[in-house]
Chains A and B, each alone.
Chain A
Amino acid sequence: MRLGSRPISFFAGCLLGLTLAFAGQPMWKLAIEKLNQAEFSELTFKCDNAMRNHLLAKQRLAAIPTKANVMDLKSAEIGLIDCQDYDMMRKSLIRWGLTENELSEMALVAIEEKGEDLREVVRIHEIRY
């Protein structure tokens, strides 16, 4: 009843809220990114490392099919659980409002942290035939 008697105040409040929400969204996302960057970087590296180890183990087994290499591949498969942790964190960050684009940005920051030189950047961006 009271709101109905002051429609202008109500719409002004809504407008203010929307404006604040719109203006605050980048701040919110930035805070989420900053708070989670360290852990996300670690998981990005671990997943990347696990995937490379898995690829190497598969190639090694294909070249030299021994029991030891079969065991190495099985271990590398279990090692891919690191990527499960990485994926779960991605989903969690999406739930908190980050977009795929912002997650890509976090991954690039992670690569820059771990990369010793430009080679890592080149590896990601070079054109392959």
Chain B
Amino acid sequence: MKFATRAVFSLCLVGGSICSAGADDLRSRTLRNAAITNGLIPAEGTHVSAPEPLIQVGKKLFESRLLSLAEDTACASCHLDKFGSADGLPIAIGTEGEGIGAERVIRGGDIIPRNVLPLWGRGSKGFDVLFWDGKVKQTDSSIHSQFGDEAPSEDPLTVAVHLPPVEIGEMLIDNKSTLELQTETVETANSVYEVLIERVREDPELGVALATAQEVSVAKLEFSHAAEAIAAFIRTNFRVKPTRLHDFVFRDGVLTPQAIKGGLIFYGKGNCVACHNGPYFSDMEFHAIASPQIGFGKNGFGVDYGRFNVTLDVSDRYLFRTPPLYNVAKTAPYMHSGSLPDLEDAIRTHYDPLLFTNPEGMTSLERVDFYDRLKAWSQESISGIVLDDDEITAVLRFLTTLNYESDQPIEVVD
């Protein structure tokens, strides 16, 4: 009897493993092929190298408040390891902010109307569209930015690093003492840069280190030298590193059945890949998701026209650059206005915007704005797709396979 039981049990085990192995192979193969077909490459293939001394001084500058006019804000004030290189807030608190995360809201400060973007992959190969609205964008022949034809660098990331120190409320304090610098022209930006780099020249540690790394005398240092150093640090410290998905795709690694299911939904029926493709899971293009809008909005009264603010093309209203997905599970809250604290809800809003909308509580303007966002969303590939809760959880599990850690810890300066 014991022998018979054991025999039946063994047969079941062998039979079951044969059946499940067959099914898993089809799914694993399909997922691997889909990932490669849609642009995933080994992490090393995205890297851009930079000289080590420049990276090290770039880290110090990244963590220094000297680069904000009132010396109250550093890049590291809003790009923290704890929040996956973002700030953990729906919309950012810039100048006059103190502390990290929710402390900045409680203590007050200037509000920036958009969610802080994390830095993963920025400045790596092909990552040349920056910010939610793509206000820095490399084209075949030039870099489009607020600097017009006076771009301070041919590197999009270095141009992007120039912007926060002259953005009112972000690192340029919004008070009477800075009124004459608030014209948002290239001339006033240059005068702010001159003040900031003079501080670096006078700093006994930073000045010499930057001059040495850039191979110029301290007296010859310009703001663009500091920006290049910060860019070198960002592109190195936050570069893409091998993830569990890379391991699965390129080294025959193993993913959980739930992550594989999520991956097949991501590349399959969910069609997330229509926009989240390429080496960074972003097509670097602009799309409309009718997610809830919170806060004052870039265009005021709870309206944010997104890409339109850069191009002034009416058809670009409500479009935002597809956010890359590395470490996305660490960078809550989500969407351009940070309106969704939960990643599963962020996925849901892509397919079912009404789920997060209560028309009764909305003003007439908010309703009209929502209709327009819905119209823009209705043109997207994902409009009309149905996913249930289990499938959304599976996509979440898949996205966690894109987690990794940066090379160096960022010092908390606030």
Interface residues of A, Cβ cutoff 8 Å to B: 42, 49-50, 53, 68, 71-72, 74-79, 81-82, 84, 88
Contact = CB atoms under 8 A, between A and B. Distances in A.
Q: Which size bracket describes the interface of B in this complex?
A: 20 to 34
A74 B34 CA distance: 9
A50 B271 CA distance: 12
Contact of B268 (A42, A68, A75): A75
B138 to A, nearest CB: 21
A78 B267 contact: yes
Contacts of B27: 81
Interface of A is mostly: helix
Interface of B: 23, 26-27, 30, 34, 37-38, 264, 267-271, 273-274, 277, 381, 385-386, 388
A78 B34 CA distance: 9
16 contacts: A42-B388, A68-B274, A68-B381, A71-B277, A72-B271, A72-B274, A75-B270, A75-B273, A76-B268, A77-B268, A78-B34, A78-B268, A79-B271, A81-B27, A81-B264, A82-B269
Contacts of B23: 88
A75 B386 contact: no
A79 B268 contact: yes
A74 B37 contact: yes
B386 A49 contact: yes
Contacts of B277: 71
B286 to A, nearest CB: 14
Given A68-B381, A71-B381, A78-B267, 12 more contacts: A49-B269, A50-B269, A53-B385, A71-B273, A71-B277, A72-B271, A75-B273, A76-B268, A78-B30, A78-B269, A79-B269, A81-B27
Contact of B269 (A42, A68, A75, A84): A75
